[in-house]
Each structure stands twice: as structure tokens, then as C-alpha cells.
Amino acid sequence: MNIAPLLISLVITYFIGAIPTAYIFGRLLKNLDIREHGSGNVGATNAFRVLGKVPGTLVLLIDIAKGVIPTTIVANISGLAEPWELVLIGLVAVAAHNWTVFLNFKGGKGIATSLGVLIGLTIQIPGLRWVLFIVLLSWLVVFCIFRYVSLASIVASVMLPICMVAVGAPFVLKVMSIVLCVFIVFRHSSNISRLIQGKENRVKFFKF
């Protein structure tokens, strides 16, 4: 096995995933450090809160792309198609978003980029379509009922490994889903505390 293409892909993936989208938008649009406003998180939810709906939507889409591009374009150019190779690329993309070198290894919570990785894997492995559908549906249902982005994200992350098992996904994808779930729950530890205390902020992206 030629390890060079994989190593090069992982380096490229890290720097794609590490792009601090919300921070950049905050500097460009309002000349502010988004880490000092709202929840202080460098992610799409805080971008919606601090920068507005349009910038927040753009941050969300770009952060999703940070997971899609490495698992599709980068992987395809490098000739990487084995599930374990795609999984490794996906995990690096999420880790890069969560711990970006551009912000002293402090970043977002990985929800949008994890979704991007799942979308990318679904493009490469069509058998994961139902996993993507159920995970998205679970997020939407919980959010519509409770209006907590954090709770919806946590529930969706827990559904991911359950769905992987249900569809009989390869072992390496099951492991990845567990790792992503742990990543997400760990990054939401402060949100979990606020949810328990009843202090978590409800968010309304749309009025419905």
C-alpha cells in the first residue's frame, strides 16, 4: 500500500477542516472576534446569533463543505476509496474544525462538519442514505419540538451509531460513528449542564 497519498490527503484535509469560518466572517463583516460574543463558540449557531441569518447560513454551508470536500474530492483525487481511508479523512476533518491550528487549537463543536462528513460518505457509499435521512430527521424533529440546537445535535449524534448498526454498515463506519458521537457529546458538555439547569438558550432560525 502506498501511504503517501493518504498522508498528503490527511494534511490537506486538516487545513480545510481547520478554516475558522465563523471567526473569518466575524472579522470581515463586523470587525469583531466572535469568540467574545454570544456563546463564544466558533460555529454556525453562534454565527446566526451574532452575525445574522445570511452570514450564519453561509457559515453553516461552508462548515458542511469542510466535511464533504475531503471525503469526496480530496479522496477521489488521491485514489482513496476504502471505507477506513474515508473514515480517517472524515475524522481528521472534524478534529481540525474542533481544534484548529488557526485559533490556538480551539474551534467549534463539529456538528456541521460531521454532517458534511456523513454527506460525503453517503455520496461514496450509497448504502448510508437511510443513515443520513434518519440523523437529519431526528435533528429536525427535536429542534422543532424543543428549539434547542444543542439538544437536537446531541440526539442526532446518538442516533448516528444506532443507525449505522441498524443498516449493517461496515465495522469501521460503526467505530467512526461512535467516535463522532463522543466528540459531539464531549464538545456539548457545557450545553448539557445548562440544559439540566434549564439555562440553555432556545434558538429560532425560522419562525414556524
Name, in order, each residue with C-beta under 8 angstroms of 53's C-beta and a sequence gap of 6 or more.
Answer: 205
Question: 202 in a domain, yes or no?
Answer: no
Question: 98 in a domain, yes or no?
Answer: yes
Question: 143 in a domain, yes or no?
Answer: yes
Range of the domain at 28: 4-197
Q: What confidence score (pLDDT) does residue 70 get? A: 98
Report angle CA 71, 137, 19 to the nearest 5 degrees.
35
Range 174-203 average pLDDT: 93
All 3 cell numbers of residue 38?
454570544
Residue 207 pLDDT exceeds 50? no
Helices vs strands, H then E, count in the chain: 11, 0
Residue 124 pLDDT exceeds 60? yes
Average pLDDT, the chain: 95
- Give residue 204's pLDDT band: very low, low, confident or very high (50, 70, 90): low
Tally of domains within the chain: 1
All 3 cell numbers of residue 181?
458521537
Q: What confidence score (pLDDT) does residue 1 get? A: 62
Q: What confidence score (pLDDT) does residue 208 get? A: 40
CA-to-CA distance for 84 and 103, rounded, in angstroms? 29
Question: 192 in a domain, yes or no?
Answer: yes
CA of 191: how far to CAs of 170, 179, 200, in Å? 32, 19, 7
How far is C-alpha 11 from the geometric centre of its chain's CA atoms?
A: 18
Question: 62 in a domain, yes or no?
Answer: yes
Question: 114 in a domain, yes or no?
Answer: yes
Question: 57 in a domain, yes or no?
Answer: yes
Question: 208 in a domain, yes or no?
Answer: no
Q: Tell me the pLDDT tens digit for each residue of 66-123.
A: 999 999 999 999 999 999 999 999 999 999 999 999 999 999 999 999 999 999 999 9
Q: What confidence score (pLDDT) does residue 201 get? A: 86
Q: What confidence score (pLDDT) does residue 203 get? A: 75
